[in-house]
Amino acid sequence: MKLCSVSFISSLIALQLLPLFTIVNGQQATDSCNSTLPLKDLAFDSSHQCVEVWRVQNYILRYARTVENTWSFILSAPDSSAYIGIGFSTTGQMVGSSAVVGWITSDSRSGSAKQYLLGGKSPGEVIPDQGDLKIINGSLKIESVSSRLYLSFQLTAELPREGLLYARGPAEFFPSSPDFRLREHQFMTTTTINYNTGNLSFYFKISACLNY
């Protein structure tokens, strides 16, 4: 795996200025904020704010403050036989962030989702089942519906971190027991979000990546 140290080289630009296009495998179903959420067994209310957070990969984020200091999230992405992830950062960089990562294997179709601490640039510092996100027990899961993955979880926080990272792993690689180590992501982007309005911003950036 390698982690990317991100150097930001421009000021914030509204995401709405991006061209409206999506590059997704034609055999994979797309999702939009106008679509009905197809999940039936959520442990929490699915009436969410909905944002197209990564249009080129068709990543859709639904979120809501369900009760005081409790936030629910559902990340939807095409099922590309790879892991998907969302990280919460104070700096906009991966190192020092905590991330939620989920995958469903191609062979057994079994799903797993874990929190990871992105503590540094060496393998031993990317640690499964650690991080500072206060995930409510029993809320973290991943499902595949109509060729899309739905990664859902709840956090306890007065306000979640507004710097959000999104990643897609390499095809046909899935973390496995006993170490559940992540391999280098294939694609990654960084945004900030205003949870009250759903408005997104992003940085143009240069990524310096370290292999290990």
DSSP-based three-state secondary structure for 135: strand
3-class secondary structure, 98: strand
Q: How confident is the model at residue 184 (pLDDT cuts 50, 70, 90)?
A: confident
CATH topology of domain 2-19+46-211: Immunoglobulin-like (2.60.40)
Domains in the chain: boundaries: 2-19+46-211
State percent of the chain over pLDDT 70.
78
Would you state the structure tokens that stand for residue 94, as one six-digit string?
């991966």
- pLDDT at residue number 142: 95
Strand, helix or coil at 24?
A: coil
What is the distance between the alpha carbons of residues 131 and 194, in angstroms, rounded to a whole number?
23
Q: What is the pLDDT of residues 1-55, one digit of tens each?
A: 444 444 333 333 333 333 333 333 334 468 999 988 888 777 666 678 999 999 9
